[in-house]
Amino acid sequence: MNFLAIVSAAMPQLLYGARLTIWFSIAAIILATILGLIFALFKLSSIQLLRKIGEVYVHIFRGLPLLVEIFYIYFALPMVLPMHRWFDPYFAPVAGVIALALNEGAYITEIIRAGILSVDRGQTEAALSIGMNGFQTMRFIVLPQAFKRMIPPLVNQFIQTIKDTSLLSAISLSELTRQGQIVISTTFASLQIWTAVAAIYLAVILSLTALSSYMERRLQIDKR
Amino acid sequence: MISVKEITKHFGKHMVLKNISVEIAPREVVVIIGPSGSGKSTFLRCLNGLETVSSGQITINGVEITHSKTNLSLVRKEVGMVFQRFNLFHHLSVMENITIGPRQVLKMEREEAEKRAYALLDKVGLREKAHAYPDELSGGQQQRVAIARALAMNPIVMLFDEPTSALDPEMVGEVLAVMKELAREGMTMVVVTHEMGFAREVGDRVLFMDEGCILEEGTPDQLFNNPREERTKLFLSKIL
């Protein structure tokens, strides 16, 4: 069989995997961004307890290999907490997405924190001086300016998240990498299938990159 | 209107304000001068709670802002502040800079807020810049917008923290002109500045600060022409 014939025969299975990869990525990115925003605000809080919670979160989830986190939540935690029963029969995807989100969220925490800190203190003072409260100052003055500067490192992190979904193959989730392995186990066409898998990952990531450069242009990121 | 009683302020071990007391009457224009590091700006920033005092009391219009239970946001919307470095919101147009306070804090309707913003822009002579962004304006124009932004909240007192110090010399006049106009309209103003001409022309009272104390105070005429303290004479001889 030639290259194209092998790949096109495997394509339905690979695309099924690609679809799951995209869904896992979207879910993990949304959750990780929410976690990142919450813990960034914790780390910048004037309340010491919240700052400590934020620090511990980042230290733990940035400090462990993602694969260990995935195994821990999927295999170890159910030993003490019957999570697998709560989410049955979807525990594997739920555990996978949670592990991913917690890990990427730790990095996003630091990206968002750095973005907020990069906004001149005078902006906050001016907002407070016209009677805005802390929430309004963050919402209308600081975050919009911080957000533009956070886009490039956030896009980096989102790309990382998409690639990291491949580790979910280790808990038998049928995402793209896992589907590739399955196809190869019956066809033995390593070169052809891994080439196709790589091409699909690249296509997904390049479309995210294109989307982000469009957004950067729209938001005129080069301007303040 | 503003009553300051024996306030002190420490930054760590360093004492920046030492036992300052001062009363400011409605419609009064008080100018604060003094060498850098004398605590002028810190004092001004205590008046709207951007700095917290270590001890003492500040009362504005009957509200004790140094009380721990006071909601500072409520006080600040009545106390306008103009900064040395303008601090316009870079991501908002001139119009949005002026209307965001009234709309978010005073919950004013957009049309009403914009109508008032245009009136304020007329006052500072920048109506045609309503849709420009701060970075497209000169320093003098930015500072005039900053004054309009503070006025949009209808404050009962305006604080100016060296409003012309970051400006090119040819732009100082346009900002001072707006401030003089405000003073003539009867706005209560506390102005930290090195502009002695402004102090003489519109100041009702001048405070000379040095090393965290109000060393001397008086009318502009008294303080500039007949200073009592040696330290004041020395300072004036260097800047006049």
Average pLDDT over residues A107-127: 97
Chain A interface, Cβ < 8 Å to B: 120, 122-123, 125-133, 136, 140-141, 144-145, 148, 223-224
Q: How many residues does chain A have?
A: 224
Distance of alpha carbon B99 from alpha carbon B106, whole angstroms: 10
Check if B154 contacts A (Cβ < 8 Å): no
Closest-CA distance, B45 to chain A, in angstroms, reads: 10
| pLDDT for A1 | 61
Instruction: Determine whether the interchain pair B104/A122 forms a contact, defined as Cβ–Cβ distance below 8 Å.
Output: no
In total, chain B counts a number of residues equal to 240
pLDDT of residue A219: 78
Q: Which amino acid is at B41?
A: S
- In chain B, which residues have their Cβ closer than 8 Å to the Cβ of A120? 87
Q: What is the pTM of this model?
A: 0.86
Residue B105 to residue A126, Cβ atoms within 8 A: no
Q: Which residues in chain B show pLDDT less than 50?
A: none
Give the HSE-up count for residue B230: Cα atoms under 13 Å, Cβ half-sphere.
0
A-B contacts at Cβ under 8 angstroms: 68
A131 close to B49: Cβ distance less than 8 angstroms = no
- Measured CA to CA, the distance from residue A97 to residue A29 in angstroms comes to 9
Q: So what's the pLDDT on residue B179?
A: 96
The distance of B77 to chain A (nearest Cα, Å) reads 4
- Residue A91 pLDDT greater than 60, yes or no: yes
Average pLDDT over residues A94-122: 97
DSSP A170-188: GGT--SHHHHHHHHHHHH-
The pLDDT score that the predictor gives to residue A215 is 83
CB atoms A131 and B88 under 8 Å: no
Report how far residue B235's alpha carbon sits from residue B26's, in angstroms, rounded to the nearest whole number. 29
Q: Which amino acid is at A97?
A: V
pLDDT value at residue A223? 56
Which pLDDT value is given to residue B191? 97
**CA–CA distances in Å: residue A24 to residues A2, A19, B101, B195:** 32, 9, 41, 63
Q: Does residue A200 carry a pLDDT above 90?
A: yes
Angle at B29 between CA B25 and CA B34, to 5 degrees: 115
Judged by DSSP in three states, B5 sits in: strand
Total count of domains within chain A? 1
| CA-closest candidate to residue B25, choices B224, B205, B178, B177 | B205
The CATH number linked to A175 is: 1.10.3720.10
Indicate whether A221 pLDDT > 70: no
Closest residue by Cα to residue B42 from B223, B192, B236, B215: B192
| pLDDT given at position B50 | 94
On whether the CB atoms of residues B171 and B139 are closer than 8 A, the answer is yes
| Residue B27 in contact with partner chain A when CB distance is under 8 A | no
Residue with tokens 């009064």: B28
Q: Is B119 on the interface with A (CB under 8 A)?
A: no
Quickly count: other Cβ atoms within 10 Å of residue B6's Cβ: 12
Chain B residues with CB inside 8 Å of A122's CB? 83, 85, 87
Print the domain residue range for A119. Answer: 2-222
Q: Is B91 on the interface with A (CB under 8 A)?
A: yes
Q: 3-state class of B213 per DSSP? A: strand
Task: State both tokens at A48.
Answer: 């010491």
Amino acid occupying residue B191:
V
Mean pLDDT score of chain A, rounded to an integer?
A: 94
B100 to A129: CB separation less than 8 angstroms, yes or no: no
pLDDT of A222 higher than 80? no
Q: Do B50 and A129 touch (CB under 8 A)?
A: yes
pLDDT in tens, A125-160: 999 999 999 999 999 999 999 998 899 999 999 999
Convert the pLDDT of each residue in A159-186 to its tens digit. Answer: 999 999 999 999 999 999 999 999 999 9
Nearest CA in chain A to B71: A133
